[in-house]
Amino acid sequence: MLMLAIAFLIFYVLIVASKLFVDYGTNQNRAQQQHFSSSQAVAVRMSTEIENAMIWIDNGLSEGQTPSQAARLIAKSPVISAAIIVNSKGGTIASYPAGSQILDNFPVNNIGSPGVTLNSVIQPDGHIIPLIIKQTGQYFVVAALADTVLANENKTMGTLAVITPSGRMISGDKTMGKTGPRDAFNLTAAQFSNLTQAGSNTIVKITVHGNKQLLASVQIPNTDLFLLSSKKQLETSILQNNLSLFFILFIGTCALVWTLLHSLTKQLRVVQGVQQSTEVSQQRYQAAIEGDRGGVWEVDLAGSLAFVSGSLAGLLGLLRKEQTMPLSRFLNLFHPEDRERFLSFARRAHVQGEFDFDIRVAHLPLMLQCRGRSSVRSGHEMKRVIVGVALDITEQRAAQMRLQITESRLHDALSSMTDSFVVWDSMKRLVVWNSKFMDFLACSLAHSMRVWSMLALIS
């Protein structure tokens, strides 16, 4: 009972642990997938903003009649805060707003790259200004993007950073402008290299100032820039969320255990009752057998084996315990003249049914009454056996012999008497008589017949 209860308790604990483990993994995967999907959406938005800024720059250059007019048209874009047109040496040709100082902390030699490049100006206080640099003829247009275009503060997204594969900050908060992305996100060189590989969109777990966070790296479409987006991991209480389910499982498990234990208890009581009844019956049967000086025997003709109970073994001169022996040894316990008769009865028992005969014991002055019948024994395989009982009838048979001798002597004594002798019972029935009485009875009958004949003639 106790082991069954412990087994079900272990089963319940395993269910709870499995549920917690699966839910934890599911929640982690769901959180990572949601954060990664949100980061991809932000990256797409940033790509769209950059493309809009490029379109606005192209429109300003095509519609502006002079560098000053082109710079003013470019700066009118809602995603561009300032525009400067410079020559290849970094000299300012035109700017809007006038006197813009966005290139004060920008190395001039970075302007000479052909085509369109994305770069930034990092001011001493860490403020980062994203730049789009486009070559047009022998001049270069430098457009400063508004702070809200790229990595603006987004409470739902957490910390955002736009970087180049080399690790330069293009957009982010002032802390990142001072420390750089690796220190800001507490990344190793290998982690940072994996996050900034071309075409690599991944998510990793990091720890920043003791806080566990998810960091997603997504390449911004149509650029070589990467968006790094970190979000604090929410430690949801899985146990609390599943408390009602665990309570139901616990109640159900307890109910199931109680039902099984109750059922097992009832079955055990029934089995114990049956066992007690069987033991009592066996004890009574054994007492009756032993009281009559006898026991139980069983013969397996196919297996050439025999079995005798303890009481019968003691009666036959063997050790007083139940014994299994070869059939030949069992037959040798009886008189040689009775062995074949026993085998004959045993072989025909399957057809003739029960049998009863007397058998003498070898080397002992005993006479046994054997009663047996055919039976089928179930087990690993079905087999036919002969089972029966053997009772010591030595004294009974001796008493019968003495009675027969006494009756014979009484008969001889009555026959030798010269007088008639007769005995009637209480119901006037003739029980014993001798020959003299028979002679007397015959004479009386003859005399009566003559008297009746004479009377008939006279009449």
Query: Which of 13-17, 20-24, 111-115, 393-397 has the highest mean predicted lDDT (pLDDT)?
Result: 393-397
For the domain spanning 294-416, the CATH number is 3.30.450.20
- pLDDT for 326: 92
Task: Please tell me the total number of residues recorded for the chain in this structure.
Answer: 459
Q: Compute CA distances 407 → 394, 399, 411, 420, 432, whole Å.
A: 20, 12, 6, 19, 11
- pLDDT for 237: 54
Q: Are strands 139-145 and 128-136 parallel, antiparallel or unpaired?
A: antiparallel
How does pLDDT run across 105-148, given as a tens digit for each residue?
666 556 656 778 888 888 888 888 888 888 888 888 888 888 77
How does pLDDT run across 356-373, given as a tens digit for each residue?
989 999 888 888 989 999
Residue 205: helix, strand or coil by DSSP?
strand
368 contacts: CB under 8 Å, gap ≥ 6? 294, 358, 359, 360, 361, 390, 391, 392, 393
How does pLDDT run across 63-114, given as a tens digit for each residue?
888 888 988 898 888 888 888 888 877 778 888 887 666 666 666 556 656 7
**10 Å Cβ neighbour count for 60?**
24
CA triplet 230, 233, 237: central angle to 5 degrees? 170
Stated pTM of the model: 0.51
**10 Å Cβ neighbour count for 148?**
12
- pLDDT for 284: 54
Confidence class of residue 306 from pLDDT cuts 50, 70 and 90? very high
pLDDT above 90: percentage of residues in the chain: 4
Q: Where are the domains of the chain?
A: 28-238, 294-416, 417-459
Question: Which residue would you say has higher pLDDT here, 342 or 233?
Answer: 342
- pLDDT for 234: 63
How far is Cα 243 from Cα 56, in angstroms, rounded to an integer?
57
